């Protein structure tokens, strides 16, 4: 499965890179929530961030420019190589790694921030919880199962149910949460309890 996924995503990113050499922009809501994120971390964003399924690295580049040291993980070596080149050109602290997220074991209590956009692997949520430091933040934006199915090209297994994300992170301090019915998206920024 991992080899097939790698081939699929490499092809997707090669096609995208053939059309443009510009880096991917960061997630819109991540950028809009940066003031809330900075305030939530209370550390001027000088911490360790983890970008899961980073793709071509728009979020990783953005976070590194904000002062984070970023670990960026993706199954596509095409994406990671592109990100590494861009990070080197700007001398940004990004450690890009080719990994199969279905096989990874994240280190405990390692990161101040974990972001996960448009990638859903439900069993990874528990690892995200463990790898965050106390009072660390998680930003998630992914597809949502909606009544009118705003994203029919995405299989239901890769869509969260309404309120599912709140249930997964029950007991965490939710700084931002929005289910966007029309777009079929859910976005959450939450802080891990300090103990």
Q: Angle between the 77-90 and 2-19 helix axes, to the nearest 10 degrees?
A: 50
Residue 152: CATH number of its domain: 3.40.50.150
What percent of the chain shows pLDDT beyond 90? 70
Q: 135 lies in which domain range?
A: 2-191
4's CB contacts (< 8 A; 6+ apart) are: none
Task: Find out whether 37 and 45 touch, Cβ atoms under 8 Å.
Answer: yes
Contact 73, 99 (CB under 8 A): yes
Q: What is the pLDDT of residues 91-133, one digit of tens each?
A: 999 999 999 999 999 999 999 999 999 999 999 999 999 999 9
Please give the tally of structural domains in the chain. 1
- Spatial distance between the Cα atoms of 23 and 27, rounded to a whole number of angstroms: 12
Rounded to whole angstroms, how far apart are CA atoms 100 and 156? 22
Q: Which residue has the tokens 């528990």?
A: 126
- The model's pLDDT over 151-189, given as tens digits with 9 standing for 90+, comes to 888 888 889 999 999 999 999 999 999 999 889 999 999
Global pTM reads 0.92
pLDDT tens digits, one per residue of 6-34:
788 877 877 777 777 677 889 999 999 99
| pLDDT confidence tier of residue 42, bands split at 50, 70 and 90 | low
């Amino acid at each position: 499965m991992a080899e097939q996924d790698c081939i699929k995503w490499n092809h997707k990113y090669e096609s995208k890179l053939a059309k443009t050499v510009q880096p991917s922009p960061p997630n819109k809501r991540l950028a809009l929530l940066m003031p809330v994120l900075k305030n939530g971390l209370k550390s001027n964003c000088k911490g360790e961030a983890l970008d899961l399924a980073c793709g071509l690295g728009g979020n990783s580049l953005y976070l590194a420019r904000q002062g984070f040291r970023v670990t960026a993980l993706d199954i596509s070596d095409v994406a990671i190589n592109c990100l590494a080149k861009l990070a080197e050109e700007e001398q940004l602290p990004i450690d890009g790694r080719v990994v199969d997220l279905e096989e990874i074991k994240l280190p405990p209590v390692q990161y101040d921030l974990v972001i996960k956009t448009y990638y859903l692997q439900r069993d990874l949520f528990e690892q995200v919880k463990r790898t965050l430091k106390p009072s660390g933040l998680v930003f998630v934006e992914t597809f949502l199962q909606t009544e009118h199915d705003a994203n029919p090209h995405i299989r239901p297994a890769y869509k969260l149910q309404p309120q599912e994300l709140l249930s997964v992170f029950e007991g965490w301090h939710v700084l931002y949460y929005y289910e966007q019915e029309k777009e079929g998206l859910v976005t959450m920024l939450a802080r891990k309890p300090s103990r």
